[in-house]
Amino acid sequence: MSGNFFKMDNDIFKCGIDAYEFMVYSYLVMKADREEMTCYPTAGKIALDCGISKSQVRKVTASLEKKGLITKEMRYKNTINGKKHQTSSLYHIEPLPIQYGGSASVLNTHSLSDKEGK
């Protein structure tokens, strides 16, 4: 099969997330590397592609992290003067929590399409 689509576990609907959380979670799953289930879009890119504000992205990703659906790792680079500057966050898509029908694997969220840009 080929095409520009991705697959997501139906049990996401049991997780008690709102429309913004669903939209951002879906976006992150779509952008994730299929082997590692990680991606690193900036808050600005998520906001632009989802049609919401950067502050809404920050609020939603914090909520998704609190609910155990994602983990976020800050990424930094060194500047010329030796200081660290945050570039983006690395988002890890976590297996759905067991209480929502999830399993120990994220295989149900793997895409059927080729890897897309991060």
The residue ranges of every structural domain in the chain are 10-109
- The two tokens of residue 47 are 């906001």
- The two tokens of residue 40 are 């690193």
Q: Which residue has the higher pLDDT, 77 or 117?
A: 77
- What is the distance in angstroms between the CA of the first residue and the CA of the last residue of the chain? 22
- The two tokens of residue 29 are 């799953």
CATH class for the region spanning 10-109: mainly alpha
Angle at 19 between CA 18 and CA 21, to 5 degrees: 65
Whether the pLDDT of residue 26 is over 80: the answer is yes
Q: Which residues on adjacent β-strands are paired with residue 38?
A: 92
**Predicted local distance difference test score (pLDDT) of residue 60:** 98
pTM score above 0.95:
no
**Predicted local distance difference test score (pLDDT) of residue 100:** 58
